[in-house]
Every structure is written in structure tokens, then in C-alpha cells.
Structure 1
Amino acid sequence: MFKPFNLFNIPRHIKKIALRSKINKNTNGVEKGHIILQLINVLIVLALIAAIVYLNYVYKNRVLLISSISALGIIILLIIGGIYRRNKLNNYNTVSKLILKDDDDRILDEWDISNNVSCLIGKKTKSNEVNINLSKAVYASLVSREHAVINKANNKWYFEDIGSSNGSGIKRKGESNKFKVEEGKPYEISSGDILYIANTKLYVK
């Protein structure tokens, strides 16, 4: 994969600043897209209502009024159906949580990511904010402050190591062995997988 940053040998922390900016941009873009789509739907319904009122005022024809109201009802049902199908598609990927457990399989922390587009995994400090804070992990000392990211694209989740000191890995659902991931390469993940952040296990649900 072509990585233009490597041509200029930019330090890792500069790469991570750029990555954080990209995550925020993607998240804001998705939210704005949903708002715009909702506004368009509202404007369509308002325009149709205005047209019905106008036609009724001009022609005062009961048959025309009933036909117009029926057509409006059908259009509203189509809009609602489209919203339902879109939400169903968005929820098709069942990944909704990341869970941190200790060696005795007790839950130390968990994060609901169902409404997120991107999450930064690492350790929270005074100067470093992350979405998935692994400071409570048994092997937290091996976790980089900004270790990895998970991104949602086309209703699928992807995991990517962003230049951590001790690396990352994935164990697929139903498999006994984990594999090490390459830095900067996204890997699709699904419910039942286990993410290895150095020696720390994150369960994907």
C-alpha cells in the first residue's frame, strides 16, 4: 500500500495527529450527512402539504383533495420505509461493543461503539485523549498511548495498528491462533474476534 507520509519520513506523532484529524472529519461528515438527509425529507413533506392546501384552495374539489392526501400518505410511507431500510443496513454489522477482561475473565471495562464511526485505542493521559482507554489493563505498560484505531466503513468495522511500540494482533472467532497485524494496514473485524493490543485482549461483541 502506498504511504505518502513515508516519503518524507515524518515522525510518528505527526502521523497520529493527521490520523486523529481524519477520524474527527469522518465522524462529523457522517453526522452532517444524516442531518441533511432528514432536512430533505422534511422539506419534501412540507412542499407536498403546501401543494395540497393550494390545490384545495384553488379548485375546491373533494376528489382532488382526497387523491392528494392519499398520494401524500403513500410518499410518507415510502420515506419511512427508506429510513427503516437504511437503519437496518447500518445495523447489519453486529459489532457494538469492545470488552476488556482480566486474566480471570472478569470484565474490567467495556465500551459501546454502536454509534461511533472511528475510535482511537490507547491510554488516556493529561495530554492525550482516547476513545478506548486501556489504562486499567493488567499489561497497560505495554500499550502505547495511541496504539490502534477501529474505523467503520460501508457498514463494516476495520482494525488498524498505527505504529505502536509492541504491536497488535487478531484472533478470529472459532480459531485457536492469533496473527500479528501489519502497521498501517486495516483488517476487517466482526463479533467474536479478539483484538490483541500488545498483550491486552479486547473482545469484540
Structure 2
Amino acid sequence: MSKVLSFLSKILNLINLPKHIKKIFLKRKIRKYTTNNNDSNMILKLFNWLIIITVLSSIVYLNFTYKISRRLLIGELSLGIIICAFLLWKKKKGKKAKTKDPQIKKILLKDQNQNIINTWELRNEVSILIGKKTRVNQVDIDLSEAIYSSLISRQHGVLNKAGNKWYFEDIGSSNGSGIRRRNDSKKIRLAEGSPYQLYSGDILYIANTKLFVQ
């Protein structure tokens, strides 16, 4: 009888349509979120270039209107071009520094003495459900054995990968989620239904349970 129940439980988990639909919906939401960010960055770049062109055009116009010497015009244009080149170089350097950020590879659960209880590898994953495993509820990161597991919802949050970046989203948990950024002592409470990018060194709070991002 127990074998039959176990078999039926596995079948139910395989055809758990709500879980799969939720995962698809969340992945689409993450893609939309990252696409919107890219669009806003493009608009900002165009706006910056328009400002640069306007400033340089104004310099030329004013010099020709008031018939200022050609040497002064060349000097002003050269100075404007140098300033623009410096700003673009600085922005490019900042982007390079961001790309050096170490890629997230795993999630760790530790006890109060900082001993590792469990490790979950993220290398070949694209969507990970965090919560508590039951007969009818399968999760990828099972926190049933955590000290404060009673505060964790069965389906608490989800990790989604988009463009080689990992995002966490609270999916309507009872006791909420939080994050503490690396090199920051302040814990931030996360809004339900909003994706937050994770970085190596962050600490993710599933209710009161800490997950270390590496």
C-alpha cells in the first residue's frame, strides 16, 4: 500500500501543473524585467549623446554668431571633445568593473556555528523553487530541516536565471523574505512579486533562515 501511495505521489508531482505554470510565468516576468532595463539604458545613452551634440553645436553657433577667433573655437571644441571622451571612458571602465563580478555558483545553508548543513549547485539550473518539501509539494531547495522551518512557506520564493544573472522573487510567502548585500550590515525587506538581482556574497533571508549566495 505504501508503495502505491509513493508511486501516486510521484505521478502527482510530475503533473503538478500549477507549479510548472508558476515557474513559466515567473521566468517570463524576469525576462520582461531585464528587457525593460535594457530599453531604459538605451534611452539614457541616446539622451546623453543628444546633450553632448547640443553642447558642441551651441559652442560652434555662439562662436560664429559673435565672430570669436578661430583659435578660441578650436580650443573650446577640443576641450568639449576631451571632456566627452573622458566621461565615455569612465562609463566604459565602470562597465568592465561590473562584468568582473564573480558569477553565482551555489547556495549554502549554514547552522548557528557557520557550519555548512547543505549546498545547492546552480550551474545547470535556470529556475529554482525554494520552500518545504511535502508529499504533494516538490521544491528544489528544501528548507524543512532548517531551525526556523516553521516560519517558511511551502512555496516561499523562486530563483530565476536570466542573461547569466540570478534573480530572487518572493512568491507570496507568509513571513516574507529579505536580503543583506555583501559588505553591508543592513538587511532589506523584499517586496512580494518583485525580482531582485543577487550577487556573490549576498545573504538571502527566507523568513529567518539565512541562505549564503556564492
| Deviation (angstroms), 1:15 | 7.3
Once residues 129 and 24 of structure 1 are traced to their aligned partners in structure 2, the CA distance between those partners, rounded to angstroms, is 18
- 1:20 is aligned to 2:29: no
| Deviation (angstroms), 1:99 | 0.3
Once residues 116 and 200 of structure 1 are traced to their aligned partners in structure 2, the CA distance between those partners, rounded to angstroms, is 22
| Deviation (angstroms), 1:16 | 5.6
CA gap of 1:117–1:16, structure 2 versus 1, over 3 A, is: same
| Deviation (angstroms), 1:169 | 0.2
Partner of 1:103 in structure 2? 112
Residue 200 of structure 2 is aligned with which of 172, 191, 197? 191
Partner of 2:179 in structure 1? 170
Tell me, which stretches of 5 or more residues in structure 2 are unaligned?
Answer: 1-16, 30-100
Tell me, which stretches of 5 or more residues in structure 1 are unaligned?
Answer: 1-13, 27-91
Question: Which secondary structure does the structure 1 equivalent of 2:212 belong to?
Answer: strand
Provide the TM-score with structure 2 as the length reference. 0.55
Partner of 1:181 in structure 2? 190
State whether residues 23 and 127 of structure 2, in contact with CA within 8 Å, keep that contact through their aligned partners in structure 1: no
RMSD value, Cα: 2.4
What fraction of aligned residue pairs are identical, expressed as a percent?
54
| Deviation (angstroms), 1:25 | 9.2
Once residues 189 and 126 of structure 2 are traced to their aligned partners in structure 1, the CA distance between those partners, rounded to angstroms, is 24
Partner of 2:158 in structure 1? 149
Provide the TM-score with structure 1 as the length reference. 0.58
State whether residues 93 and 155 of structure 1, in contact with CA within 8 Å, keep that contact through their aligned partners in structure 2: no
Partner of 2:140 in structure 1? 131
State whether residues 27 and 160 of structure 2, in contact with CA within 8 Å, keep that contact through their aligned partners in structure 1: no
The alignment covers a number of residue pairs equal to 128
Once residues 154 and 135 of structure 1 are traced to their aligned partners in structure 2, the CA distance between those partners, rounded to angstroms, is 31
| Deviation (angstroms), 1:162 | 0.2
State whether residues 95 and 157 of structure 1, in contact with CA within 8 Å, keep that contact through their aligned partners in structure 2: yes
State whether residues 16 and 162 of structure 1, in contact with CA within 8 Å, keep that contact through their aligned partners in structure 2: no
| Deviation (angstroms), 1:94 | 1.2
Question: Which secondary structure does the structure 1 equivalent of 2:167 belong to?
Answer: strand
Structure 2 matches for 1:18-167, cutoff 5 A?
Answer: 18-22=21-25, 94-167=103-176
Partner of 1:71 in structure 2? none
State whether residues 157 and 189 of structure 1, in contact with CA within 8 Å, keep that contact through their aligned partners in structure 2: yes
Once residues 155 and 105 of structure 2 are traced to their aligned partners in structure 1, the CA distance between those partners, rounded to angstroms, is 21
Partner of 1:56 in structure 2? none
